[in-house]
Amino acid sequence: MTFSVTGSLPSGAQISTNATAVTLTWNATTKQIDIEFVVADDSNQSYRPTTNIDECAVNKGGCQQNCLNTHGSFVCTCDPGYRLNLDKKNCDDVDECSPVGDCMQICENTIGGYNCKCNADFKVDDTNPKKCIPKDPCQQNSLGCKHICFLSDGKEKCSCRAGYALEQDGKTCTDVDECTTNMNNCNQQCNNTIGDFSCSCVDGFTLDSNGFTCNDIDECREWTFKCQESMQCQNTRGSYKCVCGEGLYWIDNKCQGLEKGAKPPPPPPASVPKTPSDEETSQSVKLEIQGLNVSEWNQHLEETFKTVVATSATKHCSEADNCKSTTASARRKRAADYVIFTEDQVHILPGYPKQISQDPLLATLAFYLQFPPGSSTDIIKKGILVSIVKGSLADISSSINGNISSVQTLFAETTTPQTTSVTPTRPTEKDNSNIKNYIIAGSVAGGLLVIIVVAVMRMEMP
Ligand SMILES: [Ca+2]
Ligand SMILES: [Ca+2]
Ligand SMILES: [Ca+2]
């Protein structure tokens, strides 16, 4: 009886086998796992048992609140009033009062919720907890208040309903434009209305039931994609891509497997960058990279680089304000949602990467970063982009198999060279073989996932 495991093993996975069982142990992550167990007997007959791994069964997969088991993976979810942290495991309180809540007067954030309170001379309306009514309403509105007249120390005063501000005259109420004053929590687009505002989303997104978050539309699942017949749909944030399925190559204008003995075609060349505007060029950052051979630059390297830069930007902007302001004194607030960058927002300038010297191997790469679709600002300031790159030097270096030796703005203003070195890690792969009978038992301890495949001899008819 022999056992083997096929597919890409989770990183750090440990396998041990004996005559009757194979045990696989690894730390559960949200990364999709696609493995197969193969059991073979002496006569070389084999079986491939189907495995359904429930990562949520152990320690809720490491999720702080809720774990949702999916095919080959799992996702953590949060209770209402919380949002998923960028670590994809923990849940953070949503600050419903920042930058503005839906309370008529005072909004008070609490963990998992929020409360509405009222100014002095007002009390919470029993019929609507968000609304405030005067403790002592005016007997006659002799001031001519447009909305609300109340008595304060026996004197008449005016106040306005939610979404309005009291004018200089002390009685007229005018609409607050929440969109131009940034007093809104819209994820993408804000539309002012009289007494209120509403949020909307750009193409490729749909508005969440919370009324302000824009969620990506999964075109692949909704079957609204258009891909050439041999290609597969791959969802992206804001759009989708058409790609060749695993093990297939783009040959003769379609995705196909290799002929026996044929060599895989060379990886596709990097995409042709769009011509940048003056503003885009002026906000660009230039990297000096040791060990990068520009003749080996291709679409795959380019995509890996862009993805790592985007992930670094998302992380940086979640920690340092919201990246939209360059002033250090900018008010730090907990935005309702993260600004999520994707590779589509990373733009390499035409002519880059450029080889500066062959010996030692040295190249430069200039690029700028756009905000995601629907943002009020278009391009990230170069100073912030320099900080983003410096904060993730090792990751970005390893994404291009090089060593970033300096990071500076394309047009000098702040120049701070920095060096670092990195060790890229490579995924482990295992080979297949053949099988027979089996039973699968799953068990776990702590955050570790253990799968034990036990082979059982079945009576065989000769
Ligand atoms: Ca809250
Ligand atoms: Ca308004
Ligand atoms: Ca999409």
Ligand at minimal distance from the CA of 101 is 1
| Lowest mean per-residue pLDDT among 30-39, 112-121, 269-278 | 30-39
Summarised one tens digit per residue, pLDDT across range 375-413 is 878 899 999 999 999 999 999 999 999 999 999 999 875
DSSP state of 370: B
- Is the separation of the CB atoms in 148 and 160 below 8 Å? yes
Summarised one tens digit per residue, pLDDT across range 322-375 is 676 544 333 444 555 788 999 999 999 999 999 999 999 999 999 999 999 888
pLDDT at 172: 96
Distance 111 CA to ligand 2 centre (A): 28
Distance 248 CA to ligand 2 centre (A): 53
Distance 79 CA to ligand 2 centre (A): 30
- Is the separation of the CB atoms in 9 and 399 below 8 Å? no
Question: What is the distance between the alpha carbons of residues 209 and 356, in angstroms, rounded to a whole number?
Answer: 52
Q: Is 451 helix (H, G, I), strand (E, B) or coil?
A: strand
Question: What is the distance between the alpha carbons of residues 143 and 403, in angstroms, rounded to a whole number?
Answer: 72
Distance 246 CA to ligand 2 centre (A): 51
Confidence of residue 11 (pLDDT cuts 50, 70, 90): confident
Distance 222 CA to ligand 3 centre (A): 10
Q: Work out the mean pLDDT of the chain and round it to a whole number.
A: 84
The better pLDDT of the pair 431, 219 is held by: 219
pLDDT at 396: 97
- For 302, the token pair is 């380019």
pLDDT at 335: 54
Distance 161 CA to ligand 2 centre (A): 11
Distance 183 CA to ligand 2 centre (A): 10
- Which stretch of DSSP H or E encloses residue 107? strand 106-110
Confidence of residue 110 (pLDDT cuts 50, 70, 90): very high
Highest averaged pLDDT of the listed ranges 6-10, 268-272, 303-307, 417-421: 303-307
Question: What is the distance between the alpha carbons of residues 265 and 356, in angstroms, rounded to a whole number?
Answer: 28
CA atoms 426, 35, 302, 399: torsion sign: negative
Summarised one tens digit per residue, pLDDT across range 186-208 is 889 999 999 999 999 999 999 99
The better pLDDT of the pair 446, 10 is held by: 10
Distance 200 CA to ligand 2 centre (A): 15
Position of tokens 């009020």?
376
- Which stretch of DSSP H or E encloses residue 454? strand 448-454
Summarised one tens digit per residue, pLDDT across range 81-103 is 998 998 999 999 988 898 888 89
b/e map of 404-442 (b: 16 or more CB within 10 Å)? Answer: bbebbbbeeeeeeeeeeebeeeeeeeeeeeebbbbebeb
Distance 79 CA to ligand 1 centre (A): 11
For Cα atoms 408, 409, 415, give the angle at the middle one, nearest 5 degrees: 45
- Using a cut of 0.85, tell me whether the model's pTM lies above it: no
Q: Is residue 433 predicted with pLDDT exceeding 60?
A: no
Question: What is the distance between the alpha carbons of residues 337 and 334, in angstroms, rounded to a whole number?
Answer: 8
Ligand at minimal distance from the CA of 190 is 2
pLDDT at 13: 83
Distance 206 CA to ligand 3 centre (A): 10
Q: Is residue 47 predicted with pLDDT exceeding 80?
A: no
DSSP assignments along 177-217, one per residue: -TTTTT----SSEEEEETTEEEEE--TTEEE-TTSSPEEEP
Average pLDDT over every residue of 433-459: 45
In the beta sheet, which residues pair with residue 155?
Answer: 152
Distance 290 CA to ligand 1 centre (A): 47
Question: What is the distance between the alpha carbons of residues 364 and 355, in angstroms, rounded to a whole number?
Answer: 7
Confidence of residue 49 (pLDDT cuts 50, 70, 90): low
Summarised one tens digit per residue, pLDDT across range 123-180 is 999 999 999 999 999 999 999 999 999 999 999 999 999 999 999 999 999 999 999 9
pLDDT at 26: 79
Confidence of residue 449 (pLDDT cuts 50, 70, 90): low
pLDDT at 412: 72
CA atoms within 13 A on the CB side of 369: 32
